[in-house]
A and B are shown apart, each in its own frame.
Chain A
Amino acid sequence: MSHQQDLDITIDQISKIEGHAEIDVKIRSGEVQEVKLKVNENKRFYEQAVRGRPFHTVPQLVSRICGTCSVAHLNCSLEAVEKAVDITISDQSRLFRQLTMDGLMIRDHAMHLYLFSLPDVLGKDSVLDLEGPEKELLHQAFHVKSAGNALSKMILGRAIHGIYSQVGGYSVAPTTEQIQPVIKELRDVRPYVLDLLQIYLDCPFDFRRTTHNVALVSDQYDYLDGMIHSSRGLCVHEEHYGEHLTRVVIPYSQSAGYEFEGMDYMVGALPRMNLNRAALHPHTIRDAKKFISVFPSNNIFHNNLAQGIEILHGIDHALDILEGADFKKEAAVQPAPLPKNTDSTGVAVIEAPRGNLYYMVSIKPDGSIQYANIVTPSAQNQINMEDDLKLLVTEHLDKSKEKITFEMEKLIRAYDPCFSCASHFLKVNWT
């Protein structure tokens, strides 16, 4: 097999990293000269759009940044706004937020693992093409997704752009009659998740490049609280997270990239599992021992396995809260009067499905937004993904262009950059 000497690869519309992305590869004299990951999702300018808006309207607006992880934008913006206006939410509201995160992780990870990545593992183009005994996986896929959806719907009114959540609390509390079917659905799908984990444990995909891991480390693996840890032992309070990030303008990309402490780094389920697995729910630790023992890992494809473990944790954590729960309707906590001469600022960092999400909002004395800064997980992973792609292409120079293309797509899919990303490899142009 001869090495690729001169080759240009363009993968048009790879993925939705919050929409659309492409990859350009340039190989000259058998050496990789250039690998560009170009995010070309059209900007919608949310940071500009929130300026001047009353602070209590911001969460519903920024929820629209991302359809698939709207719940993460909702919860993170709420926390930032609440910190700015000095609101401490009730214990029940805190449980509701944790439940919405569990629901989000179950639904979103299930979508990625069953609909996007599984076809790669099983050698199919689409999960819809599964036949014979494998077809059962298709139905399990939709059942697991549905359970996560039901959990989010119960708390938020709907799974995408939830309506019951507001600054300071929730306008509706679920009744016992509403909770029971959700408990049943979560219990019903739990065995499917263990089967799914086995598939990903058996999967031989392997790509390793040592990189920095960054994740929020919390006592109960709840995605909302805790300190930000790095694999090099750094520990940062969320308020100061922004100071450790460097925004990198990538001229060919519509999304900025980020460096942590001046280095490329990864956020997401794999870093969370590497840094925080001891805090998983005891039932998850009991039943998923052999899967958890794979970590710490620097195999990017173990991001899939980590997501699967988080589905199980989401189920166990949610069942713990819901069994025997008796929620009451509560009034929302009201904000303190805003200071007259100075802006009020709040910072929040939470773990969205694809990694940590950062919000900083600054509110003027009249209650309108002065400034907002939002850093999303897929933007943070952009440089790391590109660096991975460079090494991957180098390692596969003796392979055919089709093989290199497929390996690049597979690698990007393992990151789960944003929902539909996974299957957005529409067309490959060879020039």
Chain B
Amino acid sequence: MGKKLRVGIFSFTGDEGCVITFVEILNYKIRDWADKVDFVHARVLRNKNDMADIDVSFVEGAIASDKDRRKLLEIRENSKKVVAIGTCAISGAPSNHRNFFDEATREEIRPILQQFQHLEKVQPLNAFVRVDAVVPGCPIIEPTFVKVMENYLKEFGVT
């Protein structure tokens, strides 16, 4: 068996619809990808995860807290490619409602934001790190995800 693509699947602030759509994509791609892709970090699928030397990280969700931000930097450091999947990761929406709240509503939620070290604004991934590719949609468009994965299989010489 040749080299496998080392893939990470990560989730930040959002509803997880994109990671779930990824798991739905496996309904028809698992047979094909089983020999080509090593899901080295995918908490949706395994407990023991490996953050080192990832080829491609697919990241869903917006960055809402300092904890999110630090984790995203760690992913970037350990990944050759980072792909933002879904509109939360690409633009922040719809997880960024609070960015647009009026002053009264902002006051209402302030204690929670402070208690749990939320950032002032909910931000997309590219506010903090370089993003190499995107898969748009809410949730992600399935054929686009498949295409991005298969492009990277080629680029990394996995056949």
Contact = CB atoms under 8 A, between A and B. Distances in A.
Contacts, number: 135
Contact of B109 (A48, A67, A139): A48
A149 B17 contact: no
B72 to A, nearest CB: 13
> Interface range on chain A: under 10, 10 to 19, 20 to 34, or 35 or more?
35 or more
Contact of B97 (A44, A115, A161, A425): A44
Contacts of A46: 97
Contact of A145 (B14, B24, B65): B24
A174 B140 CA distance: 23
Contact of B17 (A40, A67, A115, A126): A67
Interface residues of B, number: 44
A67 B18 contact: yes
Question: Which of B15, B19, B28 is packed against the most chain A CB atoms within 10 Å?
Answer: B15
Contacts of A49: 97-98, 101
A66 B19 CA distance: 12
A160 B101 contact: no
B17 A160 contact: yes
Interface of B: 11, 13-21, 23-24, 26-28, 30-31, 34, 39, 42-49, 64-65, 67-68, 94-95, 97-98, 101, 105, 108-109, 112, 116, 118, 138-139
A420 B9 CA distance: 12
Nearest to A252: B115
Contacts of A420: 11, 16, 19-20, 43-44
Given A42-B68, A111-B23, A425-B47, 7 more contacts: A16-B11, A42-B13, A43-B112, A44-B15, A68-B16, A129-B46, A142-B28
A149 B47 CA distance: 25
Interface of A: 13, 16, 18-19, 40-46, 48-49, 51, 61, 64-68, 70, 107, 111, 115, 119, 125-129, 138-139, 142-143, 145-146, 149, 159-161, 254, 409, 418-420, 423-426
Contacts of B49: 426
A186 to B, nearest CB: 15
21 contacts: A16-B11, A18-B15, A42-B13, A42-B68, A43-B109, A44-B15, A48-B98, A61-B94, A66-B15, A67-B15, A67-B21, A68-B20, A119-B46, A126-B47, A142-B26, A146-B28, A161-B17, A409-B47, A419-B44, A424-B44, A425-B43
A62 to B, nearest CB: 10
Contacts of B42: 423
Contacts of A43: 109, 112, 116
